[in-house]
Chains A and B, each alone.
Chain A
């Protein structure tokens, strides 16, 4: 069957891209994994050195890719030779001797490098790679490579979904909403709200308020949660996938304005994201009449300016509008009155990365991974006392212990796990005995431990749980924006009482104060930052309360 409409337009673009790549005359590729993580160990210097050394060779292309998640092996260099074989190098330092890498471009290079190192293979073996599929192997700033690998086919599929056989030019957005609802895609920012429900709500709200001139789709790539670095990896490794997901979401929600909101610190992410937006725009993917359909929108990249609270969705809207970084009261929800008072959908970057795969692979394939109540994979930012820290992609439902021991390789130096901080400062800590909980939405433990944005920091048995909890509480107090009283006044008092407890000077009344404060701050604060600020304390008191050396604690 010949494809028609948007799919036919896409197929022509992809074929043209493949031909241009084939005609470029670079049969060998040297891929330097240059992400924000490996940049800190000199990947940019390494890239420039390799580029300079190989510049006389017209048959070799040196490419800066993203980091594939194995930060512990940074910097990785992968050499794809003209004969189709591959050579792998890891932990390459900025000043290292590069002769082995350069020699490996031709036959006769080191044979022991024909496979990734055992450590790398052990890191990836327990994972289920979907979102990270081409991160590290695709040139993030090449639209052609993305198109040639099947990119933007999800958008073409979305634009023609629900198309009637008889002559109708394009499909219906409602069909896309229904498909993603059926797939059961939940938001990956931390609240796990069904993504397509937001699209539906914004679409309906827009038709009710005739004064709204626009609908907006905001891509939340603020990623300000300490210990989480997943969106940066996606933006640096495969920015077009985020753009494709955002375009599909914008189409489904009826949005004509897309804003991609990138963290203030993430310069490399913003650079690659902006380059990808420029290329996609030049290729006509933002319309008008994108891929021959009636869909079109504008896409802008905006930068944050620092602060955990900026990732809170209404604060993020205030930031874009040029206001102070403070949350807004809800309702009205952003889908009714968001950016400039107009219907606005805010989706996390990782959430949107799932969307193209649902369109091309179908609902059943997506739903076959993960849990019934939460399908698909989850990007987990693993750090702390593990042999292999980095970004892992695992099916939802994988246990915290599996991530730590199988992906991370357990605690180094033959020490046992002490506890793990899961889900960042809005969550809490889990002692070693409690790590068999599955990663899922909602509470991992009723004392206030949640998955959040998927950060896990591991500690061995020498670390003090109360000191780590104190650090989480201090973070919450420092990041409180000051708008609402319970959070502004309560979080520093939590810190003060906890500091006494952690240093051994605490009394029973400090413990009671901590319980009261975390309850009040949690119940009366305006936004999620305050509402969840008591969680670290609650989990500490629950698991370690009797060990704090205080009577009545």
Chain B
């Protein structure tokens, strides 16, 4: 149950969290927000809802994920309620709201890859990858002609799919990418 005054107290707590940087944290946040608004005004001069997905793609490209504060700024710029920006952002499987790890290994487990041995690839990836890496699966990478395939995404780089994989080669790829 939220009591009257709760929100004011919460805000005070937040603003006073670090007395030394009081004020400067706020200024920094505002600076960050207005910086993004400037960029959005330039890239998406039309403040219409249909620019939402392109704007989210742009953010993900810039940051590697969608930071919460940036979602709010996108909502301001495109005149879409923050709740609906969040709703859209979370409904698409390619958009992520958490910071990406150093290395993402994506094992395709679609029918053709599964037949060609994706189970062993998945086991091999889980065994080889260290704690800085995340091993995930994909339902289909649409590269079925060179199955089985595994995707490798380094921080800040585009996912690279590798075809005709085998556990030994995958281990070498992960070892090299983890360095």
23 inter-chain pairs at a CB distance below 8 angstroms, sorted by A residue, are A40-B143, A40-B149, A40-B164, A226-B110, A226-B111, A229-B145, A265-B141, A304-B94, A306-B93, A306-B95, A307-B92, A321-B50, A322-B78, A322-B88, A326-B91, A384-B144, A389-B112, A390-B145, A457-B112, A459-B115, A463-B115, A468-B111, A472-B111
Q: Provide the residues of chain B in CB contact with A324, threshold 8 Å.
A: 87-88, 91
Within 8 A of B (CB), among A317-364: 319-326, 340
Residue of A nearest to B161 (CB): A40
**Total inter-chain residue pairs, C-beta < 8 Å:** 137
Known: A263-B142, A383-B144. 12 other contacts (CB 8 A): A264-B94, A267-B158, A302-B53, A302-B54, A306-B93, A320-B50, A321-B49, A323-B49, A324-B87, A325-B91, A384-B115, A463-B115
Contact B143 A37 (CB under 8 A): yes
Contact A227 B78 (CB under 8 A): no
A421, CB-defined interface residue at 8 Å: yes
Q: Provide the residues of chain B in CB contact with A391, threshold 8 Å.
A: 145
Q: Mark interface residues in B144-169 (1 if CB within 8 Å of A CB, else 0).
A: 11110100000000100111100000
A188, CB-defined interface residue at 8 Å: no
Q: Provide the residues of chain A in CB contact with B139, threshold 8 Å.
A: 226, 308, 475, 478-479
Give chain A nearest CB distance to B47 CB in angstroms. 12
Distance of A475 Cα from B54 Cα, bound (Å): 27
Q: Mark interface residues in B69-92 (1 if CB within 8 Å of A CB, else 0).
A: 000000000101000100110011
Q: Provide the residues of chain A in CB contact with B112, threshold 8 Å.
A: 227, 383-384, 389, 457
Q: Provide the residues of chain B in CB contact with A266, threshold 8 Å.
A: 142
Contact A303 B57 (CB under 8 A): yes
Quick one: which of B51, B84, B110, B144 contacts A389, CB cutoff 8 A? B144
Q: Mark interface residues in A216-245 (1 if CB within 8 Å of B CB, else 0).
A: 000000010011110010000000000000
Please give me the 9 A-B residue pairs with the lowest Cβ-Cβ distance, nearest first: A71-B145, A322-B52, A306-B94, A40-B163, A305-B92, A383-B144, A226-B140, A306-B93, A383-B112
Contact B53 A303 (CB under 8 A): yes
Distance of A305 Cα from B80 Cα, bound (Å): 18
Q: Provide the residues of chain A in CB contact with B54, threshold 8 Å.
A: 302-303
Q: Mark interface residues in A466-503 (1 if CB within 8 Å of B CB, else 0).
A: 00100110010011010000000000000000000000
Given contacts A306-B95, A385-B115, A457-B115, contact A232 B142 (CB under 8 A): yes
Within 8 A of B (CB), among A7-51: 36-41
Contact A305 B145 (CB under 8 A): no
Give chain B nearest CB distance to A452 CB in angstroms. 13
B107, CB-defined interface residue at 8 Å: no
Distance of A340 Cα from B163 Cα, bound (Å): 41
Distance of A421 Cα from B115 Cα, bound (Å): 12
Q: Mark interface residues in B113-139 (1 if CB within 8 Å of A CB, else 0).
A: 011000000000000000000000001
Give chain B nearest CB distance to A264 CB in angstroms. 4
Binding site for B on A (CB under 8 A): 36-41, 71-72, 74, 223, 226-229, 232, 263-267, 302-308, 310, 319-326, 340, 381, 383-385, 389-391, 421, 457, 459, 463, 468, 471-472, 475, 478-479, 481
Given contacts A40-B162, A264-B94, contact A322 B145 (CB under 8 A): no
Distance of A265 Cα from B49 Cα, bound (Å): 23
Q: Give the interface centre of B91, B94, B110 by most chain A CB atoms within 10 Å.
A: B91
B174, CB-defined interface residue at 8 Å: no
Q: Give the interface centre of B111, B115, B149 by most chain A CB atoms within 10 Å.
A: B111
B170, CB-defined interface residue at 8 Å: no
Q: Provide the residues of chain B in CB contact with A227, threshold 8 Å.
A: 110-112, 140, 144
Binding site for A on B (CB under 8 A): 48-54, 56-57, 78, 80, 84, 87-88, 91-95, 109-112, 114-115, 139-147, 149, 158, 161-164
Given contacts A457-B112, A468-B111, contact A389 B142 (CB under 8 A): no
Contact A72 B53 (CB under 8 A): no
Contact A471 B92 (CB under 8 A): no
Q: Provide the residues of chain A in CB contact with B93, threshold 8 Å.
A: 305-307
Give chain B nearest CB distance to A403 CB in angstroms. 14
Q: Provide the residues of chain A in CB contact with B88, threshold 8 Å.
A: 322-325
Q: Provide the residues of chain B in CB contact with A472, threshold 8 Å.
A: 111
Distance of A95 Cα from B80 Cα, bound (Å): 50
Q: Provide the residues of chain B in CB contact with A381, threshold 8 Å.
A: 144
Contact B92 A325 (CB under 8 A): yes
Residue of B nearest to A70 (CB): B145
Contact B51 A322 (CB under 8 A): yes
Given contacts A305-B53, A307-B92, contact A471 B145 (CB under 8 A): no
Q: Provide the residues of chain B in CB contact with A383, threshold 8 Å.
A: 111-112, 144-145, 147
Give chain B nearest CB distance to A442 CB in angstroms. 23
Give chain B nearest CB distance to A336 CB in angstroms. 20
Contact B50 A37 (CB under 8 A): no
Q: Provide the residues of chain A in CB contact with B115, threshold 8 Å.
A: 384-385, 457, 459, 463
Quick one: which of A74, A385, A468, A481 contacts B145, CB cutoff 8 A? A74
Quick one: which of A41, A226, A322 contacts B164, CB cutoff 8 A? A41
Q: Provide the residues of chain A in CB contact with B161, threshold 8 Å.
A: 36, 39-40
Residue of A nearest to B49 (CB): A322
Distance of A136 Cα from B162 Cα, bound (Å): 21
Distance of A127 Cα from B31 Cα, bound (Å): 61
Give chain A nearest CB distance to B59 CB in angstroms. 12
Q: Give the interface centre of B56, B84, B95, B115 by most chain A CB atoms within 10 Å.
A: B115
Contact A457 B111 (CB under 8 A): yes
Quick one: which of B53, B94, B146, B158 contacts A322, CB cutoff 8 A? B53
Given contacts A324-B91, A389-B147, contact A305 B111 (CB under 8 A): no
Given contacts A40-B161, A40-B163, A305-B57, contact A265 B92 (CB under 8 A): no
Q: Provide the residues of chain B in CB contact with A263, threshold 8 Å.
A: 142
Quick one: which of B50, B87, B91, B146 contacts A41, CB cutoff 8 A? B146
Give chain A nearest CB distance to B49 CB in angstroms. 4
Distance of A25 Cα from B170 Cα, bound (Å): 44
Residue of B nearest to A91 (CB): B164
Residue of B nearest to A229 (CB): B142
